[in-house]
Structure 1
Amino acid sequence: MDFRQITAAERTAQMFPLTAYAFTPSPWPAEDEERYRGRMQFNETALNLVAEEGGQALASVVGYRMRQNVRGLVHGMAGVASVASHPSARRRGLVRGLLERLLRQMREEGSAVSALYPFRPSFYARFGFVGIPRHRTATFAPEGLAHLIRAELPGEVERRPMADGFEAYESLTRRLLEERHGFSVFDDNQTAGFRDDKVWLAVARSEGEVVGAVRYHIAEYGGDLVAEDLLTTGPLGRALLLQFFARHVDQVARVTVTVGTDEVPELWGTDLAVTTEGRVNHPRKGGPMVRALDMPALSGTPVGAGDVTIEIPDDEFVGGVWRLSSEDGRLAVAKGSNPAATLTVGGFSALLYGVLDPVEVFTRGLGELTAEAISPLTTLFPRRMPYLFSDF
C-alpha cells in the first residue's frame, strides 16, 4: 500500500470516483465529473492524500488550510473532508493511516486545531475529536415579521448576485473570524471558488459599514426562501436582514434561515410563529467535531482565572503533562508535573471549545478528575458555544 500526496490536477482521476460514490447519487452523470474538474483551480492549496494499491486509489482524505477563532484567538485549522474509501478496501485501516498522516503534516505546517463533519462520530472520537453544536434552522412565515416593515432602521439592504457582492461578503466573514468563537474561514484560494455560486446575496449596511449578510435562493413563487448562515455584527444587522425577509410576504410562504445556538428566533417578533430545529443524524447530518493539535500554540488564548496541571496520555500531538494557568486573562501552557486530572484529547478539546464542563467531561468518560481540579478547569474554560462557519 502506497500513501502519497497528490496535486489538485490529479484529484479528478484519483479522488473523484471515491468521493462521488461515497457521497452522491450514483452512477453519476458525466457533467458531475466535469464540474468537479472545473473547481480544482480553487483547491490548489489543499492537502490531498490517497492510499493506492496497484496504481488504484482505494482511499482518500483532504485537508483544507483554514483559520478558526477559539475563544478570541485565531489559529491555523486543518479542515478535514473527502474521507472516502472503495467498498472493497473498507475495514483495512486505510482511512486511519491517511488521517494520521494528514493531521501530522498539517500540524507541522502550523495548524493548532482541526475540525470535520463526521459520518460517524464514534469513529472520529478515536482520533481525539469531540462534538460541538450543529447549526440550527429557523423556519417561519414572513408575515410574522410584519412589524419590521414599518420600522425606520438606520441602514439598508442591497440584493446582489453573489459575484457582485463577493467582496462585501468576504470582508464580513474576515471580521467575524476575529470576533466570533468557533468561526472558521477557508484560505484565499478556496474562498475564491464561492464568488460564482448561483445564489442571491443580501448585504446590510449602516452608514456605509457592512453589518450583516446572508446568501439565499427562492425555491419557487409561493414556496420557500431558503437562506444560509445569518451573518451579522449585532442586533442592527439582524434586524435589517429580517426586515428584508419580511418584505417577501406576498412572494414566499416560508423563510428558512441557518442560525447559531446563541440566536433565539422566537423573540424576533411578538406574533412570530417559528420552528427552530437542530437536527443531527448519521451519516448525512453529523454535528461538527473538533480537536486540539498543538498545546504550546494555544498560549495566549483568552481564559478565566485558574491554575491546574493535567495529563493527556497516548496522543502524538498534544500528549504529555501540561500546566495550564491564566496570566492577565491569557492562557499560559507549560510542561508540568503531578497532574490533578487525566483527560483524553476529546475531553480537553471539549473544555477548550467550551461545550462541556469538567463534570460532564467525567460523566462522558473523557477524563478522570480530582476534586481540586474541577474548580480551576471550570474557571479557566467557562462554558461558551462555538459557531463553526464554513461547510467542508
Structure 2
Amino acid sequence: MAIRHLAVEEILTTAYPLRAYAFGGSPGPVDLDELRRTWLPYQEGNRTLVAETADGVAMATATGIPMRQNLRGRVLPMAGVASVTTHPLGRRQGHVRELLQRLLDEMRDEGHLLSTLYPFRPSFYERFGYVGLAAARTATFPVADLAALLRADLPGEVRWTRAGPGYPEYVAFLDRCLTGRHGFAVFPGYRQVRVRDDDDRWLLTAHVDGVTEGLLTYRIDDHGGTLAADDLLAFGPLARTLLLQFLGRHVDQVERVSMVVAADDLPELWLTDLGVVCETRVTRPDHAAPMARLLSMDALDGLPAGAGRCRVELTTDRWLAGTWLLDGATGHLESRPHSTGDSALPVATLTAAGLSALAYGVLDPAELVIRGLGVVPPDAAVELRRIFPRDLPYLHANF
C-alpha cells in the first residue's frame, strides 16, 4: 500500500468519495462543480494523505489541519486530525494506523507540538497516545424564562449583525479567547473564513466600556421554534447576561433557546427561575468527545507549573518515548532528558496518553493508574499534582 499526498483538486475525486460514504447518507448524487466552488477552497491548506493499492484505488485517507491551541496559557501549533476514513473493503487492515503515523510524523516535523481530533472509536486513538477531553454541553431553556432580564439596567451594550459583515470582529474575539482560555483552539484563516463566506448566522456581541466581552452566533429555525446558538463565549457574567438579555427579547418570536456551553459552565446558576436542560451526549459513532495528545515534549517547556519535581518514563510511544525530568521549581515547567541515576527522585511510568492527560489537566495521577495509563507511586503522584494542577480545557473548535 503506497501513501502519498493529495493535491487539492485530487481531494474531490480521491478522498471525498470515502468521506461521503463514511459521514453522510449514501448513495447519492455528487455535484463536483458545486463542491469545487463551496467546499474545496477551505481545504487548500490542509495536509491530506491517501493510502492506495498498486492500481490506484484509494483505501484510506486522513487529513491534518494546521491549527493553534492554548495549553495552560501558551498558544502552540496544533495538528487537528480530521476525515479519517477507510474504504469498506479495506477496514481493519492497518491502513489508518499507517496513515496516522505518517501524518503525525509530518505535522510534528513542521513544528506542531499538539494534536486533537474527534474519534470514531476512542480506544483506538488512546493507543496512539490520545486522551479524552471534556465534551461541550448543550443548554436548552424556554425563552420566556429570560423575562426578568428585560427589566435589568445593565452597563454595556449589544450589537447585532450578520456573520459576514461582522467577521473581522468575530476573528479578533476568537483570537482573544485563544490567548485567554486553556484548551481553546482556532482554525487557520483559510478554513475560518468560511464563516464570512457562508454568512448563514447572526452575530451578537456584548460590549463593556467599549471592549468586546462576549460573542454568540445563532440561527432561528422557524417562527415559534428554536433560536439555535453556537458556543456562548463571554469574559465574565456581565457580558453573558447582556447576551441573554438580548435573547429574551425574542419571547414573542421563538419558544426556546438552545446553545453550546463549556463543560464547566453552570447555566442552572445564571438566573433564578431559569428552567434549563443541560445535555452532554457522547455516543459512537455520531457524537464523540474530543481527544488530544502531546506530539513533542517541547510543548511542556515554559508552561505555568507548581513546584514539583519528578522523573517520568514514557513507554511505547513513537514521538515521546524516553526518560524525562519534569521540574516546576521556578514556576515554569522544564522538561529535559534524564538518566536513571538519581534514586531519591520520584519516578512515574506513563503512556503518552497518561502524560497528555496530565498536561491537559483532565485526569488526576491516581486516575491514570485506574485507567491503565501509567504506574504512579504515591510520592510521584504528589509531585505530578503540583506540576499539573487540574484545569478543565475547552476545545471549542469542532472538526
- Answer yes or no: same fold by TM over 0.5: yes
1:184 to partner: Cα distance: 0.2
Question: Which deviates more, 4-13 or 344-353?
Answer: 4-13
Which segment is superposed worse, 147-156 or 344-353? 147-156
The equivalent residue for 1:284 is 286
* 1:25 matched residue in structure 2: 25
TM-score (norm 1): 0.97
What CA distance in whole angstroms lies between the structure 1 residues aligned with 2:149 and 2:180?
27
Contact 1:310-1:340 at 8 Å conserved across structures: yes
Distance in structure 1 (CA, Å) of the matches to 2:207 and 2:294: 36
Counterpart of 1:331 in structure 2: which amino acid?
L
**What code does the residue aligned with 1:346 have?**
A
CA distance in 1, matches of 2:378, 2:398: 39
- Deviation, structure 1 residue 207: 2.9
Q: Which runs of 5+ in 1 are unaligned?
A: none
Give the TM-score, by structure 2 length: 0.96
Deviation at 1:36, TM superposition (A): 5.8
| Cα distance in 2, alignment partners of residues 220 and 330 from structure 1 | 51
Distance in 2 (CA, whole Å) between partners of 1:176 and 1:357 is 26
SS in 2 for 1:311: strand
What is the aligned length?
392
Maintained 8 Å contact 1:303/1:331: yes
Matched residue, 2:382: 375
Alignment of 1:53-132 (within 5 A): 53=53, 54-132=55-133
Identity %: 48
Deviations, residues 66-100 of structure 1 (Å, cap 9, x unaligned): 00001111110000000001100111111111100
Supply the distance in 1 between the matched residues of 2:295 and 2:357 (Cα, whole angstroms): 13
Instruction: Find the counterpart in structure 1 of residue 210 from structure 2.
Output: 208
Pairwise CA RMSD? 1.3
Q: Matched residues in 2 for 1:258 and 1:304: separation?
A: 32
Distance 1:279 1:36 in 2: 33
Within a 5 Å distance, the mapping from 1:235-254 to structure 2 comes to 235-254=237-256
What is the deviation of 1:327?
4.1
1:196 Cα deviation from its structure 2 partner = 2.1
Which of 364, 381, 396 aligns to 1:357? It is: 364
Moved more, 358-367 or 147-156: 147-156
**Superposed counterparts of 1:265-284, under 5 Å:** 265-284=267-286
Alignment of 1:245-264 (within 5 A): 245-264=247-266
Shift of 1:31: 4.0
Higher mean C-alpha displacement, 302-311 vs 185-194 = 185-194
Structure 1: which 4+ aligned runs deviate by more than 4 Å? none
Matches within 5 A, 1:135-214: 135-197=136-198, 198-214=200-216
Q: Structure 1 residues 35 and 155 mapped into 2: Cα distance closer, same or farther (>3 Å)? A: farther
For residues 281-326 of structure 1, the C-alpha deviation after alignment (integer angstroms, 9 at most, x for no partner) is 0100010000010002320011222000010012121111010011
Alpha-carbon contact 1:117-1:286 (below 8 Å) kept? yes
Which stretch has the larger CA shift, 30-39 or 176-185? 30-39
Deviation at 1:336, TM superposition (A): 1.3
Separation in 2, partners of 1:33, 1:373? 58
Matches within 5 A, 1:290-329: 290-329=292-331
SS at match of 1:251: coil
Which segment drifts farther, 193-202 or 214-223?
Answer: 193-202
Q: How far 1:28 moved relative to its partner?
A: 2.6
Report the secondary structure of 1:189's partner residue.
Answer: helix
SS in 1 for 2:164: helix
Contact 2:144 2:255 (C-alpha < 8 Å) held by counterparts: no
